Amino acid sequence: MSKAGVVTNVLTWMASIVLMLAIFLGVWEALLTLYRWLPEAVPQRQEIVAYLLGGVTDGVLEVTYLNFVERYHLLDVRQLFAQISYLFYGVLAASVLLLGLQRRFAQGRVLVRTGYLGLAAMLLPGVVMLLGGFVPLFIFLHTLLFPEGTWVFPDDSPLIQLFPLAYFFRFGMVYVGALVLIFAGLLVWGKLRKEAHHAYRHSQGNQK
């Protein structure tokens, strides 16, 4: 492989990885934004969601139906959501830059690799859920993202009553379903673009 081919291959892989991350974060951002505008039957839940999507702040939610520990956990969640938003815009800018550096023929390859990478990245949590259900994955993510002892509440906690495990499971299924459709669509689109490019090159060769 020539030096130019190596550079193109490296850029293609970099673009595919960054685009995959942008899609993971972008779908998350889109679903949260859409949820904000859905009619919510429980006013307290609607108030909490609006607070969580309000950006970085050091102030806890001032409500009487949650205790301080519950409200402090919501502050952690709000700050996490804000950090994910900032990360998304940074990754999106990087993906646009890397895609702009691709030659036209390589863009189909980027789409195919992004589709494969995205579907492969979803295999591990999928296997965990198949083997142990949703709860182990839920606990692992909370252990990874939040300080120990700040996110475990009794079953009769108002926060648990407002946001039961089934609530997160439904959101997770919508999130995963959207990702599968997008990555599978990129895979098909990329293969079609590659086939069209090969057909074009073949026809140009025949004309010569």
Residue range 100-151, pLDDT digits in tens: 877 655 667 889 999 999 999 998 888 878 888 888 889 999 999 999 989 9
pTM of the model: 0.87
| Per-residue pLDDT, 203 | 64
pLDDT digits (tens, 9 = 90+) for 23-50: 999 999 999 888 877 777 788 998 898 8
- Which DSSP string do the residues of the chain spell out, in sequence order? --HHHHHHHHHHHHHHHHHHHHHHHHHHHHHHHHHHTS--S-HHHHHHHHHHTS-S-SPPP--SSS-HHHHHHHHHHHHHHHHHHHHHHHHHHHHHHHHHTS-HHHHHHHHHHHHHHHHHHTHHHHHHHHHH-HHHHHHHHHHHHS-TTSS---TT-HHHHHS-HHHHHHHHHHHHHHHHHHHHHHHHHHHHHHHHHHHHHHHHHHH-
Q: What percent of the chain has pLDDT over 70?
A: 89
Supply the mean pLDDT for the chain: 87
